[in-house]
Amino acid sequence: LCGEVILITGNPGIGKSTLLLQVANEYTTYGEVIYISGEESPAQVKNRGERLNIKSKNLFLMSETDISRIYEYLVSKKPKVVIVDSIQTLYNSVVDSIPGTPTQIRECTLKIIELAKKYGISFFIVGHITKDGKVAGPKLLEHMVDAVFNFEGEEGLFYRILRSTKNRFGSTNEIAVFSMEEDGMKEIKNSSEYFLSEREEKNIGSMVVPVLEGTKVFLLEVQTLLTEVTIGIPKRIVQGFDRNRIQILTAIAEKKMHINLSMKDLFVNIPGGLNIEDPAADLAVLISLLSIYKGVEISQKIAAIGELGLRGEIRKVFFIDKRLRELEKLGFKGVYIPETNRKEIEKNKYNLKLIYLKNLEELLERMNKDGQ
């Protein structure tokens, strides 16, 4: 949007500058774009631009860190879009402190916001993050800007996730998935298919769940593994899922499904590096746990949706239609769903076998009956 200020954060070396140089190139179709580099020399930015095959005549590079000079230049040029890499390198000479301090970050951001609102210039600002994943500088920075996007990715994985955590003019918690290629970031259009690409036809201890991230549905795999305790207290190793939630679900499994986990190590993993926060994944965790405990194979074309209550009841989930449509699109054949969603589901037609469940007792009966 015209005059919008967007903050882009992420770990060092994750690819923020690469992504924003590509973004700058795309915006040149609307007018002049200025890339302000305070961390890299013009030669370094030029080398990256050549690697990304960026040749637009509307893209200009500025190597400056004094916000007063930047302000004067942008007022004279009035570009459509400006990218600042990074806000921690800028300084205001009237403020008696070094660049990167909370005072300097706040003063420079105020100047940028003034430019954006007064002259209709859109800004992308790069912000560093601290070791605990928070934006470096004053907390006020996140409140000052119009939108905050976090660029995430695990070491050793070639994909990156751009996540919206604040957006005054749109929805939050939206995510986009990119792959890190030699010639830059490429968006992965069918991310569900990507995250499920290495699944076998049948699996033990594995279940697929359609989770909601903002307005998008992603199909993710829940994997569990049980091993005998060799010494000491049983382990509960969890990656990509809330550990406290796993403790609750294992307690429900022991009480309502009669699964004895007191002398077993439990490992839960969400392949691909994404974190599941959607409570609709509860049922998938329990089914994968039951599968590994009983040694029952599960077809890769079966999914599960449902939140669990402490009494073992399977509770209603929201946006059920969007979840089922995503399963249809990827060729799934069946899905376990809460009985409480039946009324709204029966209004539509799906090319899926809908397996309604009220509670975990019904799930046990069903799995014992057809081995699925």
The per-residue pLDDT for range 345-367, each reduced to its tens digit, is 998 999 999 999 999 999 988 87
The verdict on pTM exceeding 0.95 is: no
How many of the other CB atoms lie within 10 Å of CB of 123?
A: 23
How many of the other CB atoms lie within 10 Å of CB of 371?
A: 10
pLDDT at 176: 87
d(CA 160, CA 183): 15
CA 332 from chain centre, in angstroms, equals 24
Question: Which residue has tokens 């998008």?
Answer: 216
The per-residue pLDDT for range 158-194, each reduced to its tens digit, is 788 898 888 988 877 788 889 888 888 998 887 777 7
The per-residue pLDDT for range 97-142, each reduced to its tens digit, is 888 888 999 999 999 999 999 999 999 999 887 666 666 565 778 8
d(CA 372, CA 367): 5
Rounded to 10°, the helix 67-77/102-119 angle is: 10
d(CA 9, CA 30): 25
